[in-house]
Amino acid sequence: MAITKTDFMRGMQCPKMLWLDKHKPGLKVIPPEIQERLDAGNDFGDRAMGMFGPYEEMTVYRAGTTIPDKKAMLQKTQEHLEAGTPVICEAAFSNYNNYCAVDILRKTERGYDFYEVKNAPEVHEQFVRDAGFQYYIMTRCKLKIGKIFIVIHGPDEDRPFVPVDVTREAKGYYKWINDHIWNLNRMQKQPEEIEAEPGAQCSNPYECWYYGYCHGETPTDDPNRIHTTDRM
């Protein structure tokens, strides 16, 4: 049990959220409007894969499931890096089992630039931290990274994808990530539930999917919420 990009971002918002993800995922409740936003983001990311033309996608699923086969993805990614594939999507990297899958890697004379795709009209700091985590993992895997971009949606279909250069800001998070990733790794493994008082972190930067649990709501308190046992 190590830390993925999603684990890190959720754990930094609230360590109890990460602990619940690992130990009590059946308590997760996703509001319908959030699920719609997640689905739209996935669709936007799928379309963005082709923004530089032909590409190779690294996604591999475990047989008979929609669960990513990380080991197979890591191997496939390494093969394409060695082959010099110009554009690699969902490239997988792991360092001490800490893991990320990068939306788009584009080969350059410097090594690779990478692009994190977000279905949003502007860049938020949370997106930059997200990219910083991926830079941290890839750098520790000895991949040479040049520029880092957040891809947001453009004004219309004539310009659907707008890359924003966040290289300096994202690379600046390296030490911050290193200072926290190992503590989160240890914390998520502890058998005792993390204690955390409800507060601003329950909805900032995202509403926590365990909001009802931590605020003492019963599953029937809000009929508009979707209850799920799926893992992230």
| Residue numbers of the domain that contains 106 | 5-13+43-198
101: in domain: yes
Residue 146 counted as domain residue = yes
Does the residue 33 lie in any domain?
no
Q: Distance from CA of residue 166 to its chain's centroid?
A: 17
217 assigned to some structural domain? no
pLDDT digits (tens, 9 = 90+) for 8-62: 999 999 999 999 999 999 999 988 888 898 999 999 999 999 999 999 999 999 9
pLDDT, tens digit, 9 for 90 and up, residues 67-94: 999 999 999 999 999 999 999 999 999 9
Question: Domain count of the chain?
Answer: 1
For the record, the structure tokens of 138 come out as 């890839």
231 within some domain: no
CA angle centred on 102, ends 26 and 99, rounded to 5°: 55
Q: In this structure, is residue 166 part of a structural domain?
A: yes
Q: Which two tokens stand for residue 184?
A: 């989160």
Query: Rounded to the nearest 5 degrees, what angle is found at the Cα of 215, between the Cα atoms of 211 and 219?
Result: 70
Amino acid 19 reads: W
Span of 26-35, 93-102, 183-192, 222-231 with lowest mean pLDDT: 222-231
Q: Do the domain assignments include residue 24?
A: no
Is 36 within a domain?
A: no
**69 DSSP 8-state letter:** -
Structure tokens given for 92: 């997988």
Is 115 within 8 Å of 82 (Cβ atoms)?
Answer: no
Q: Does position 63 have pLDDT exceeding 60, yes or no?
A: yes
Number of helices and strands in the chain (H, E): 8, 8
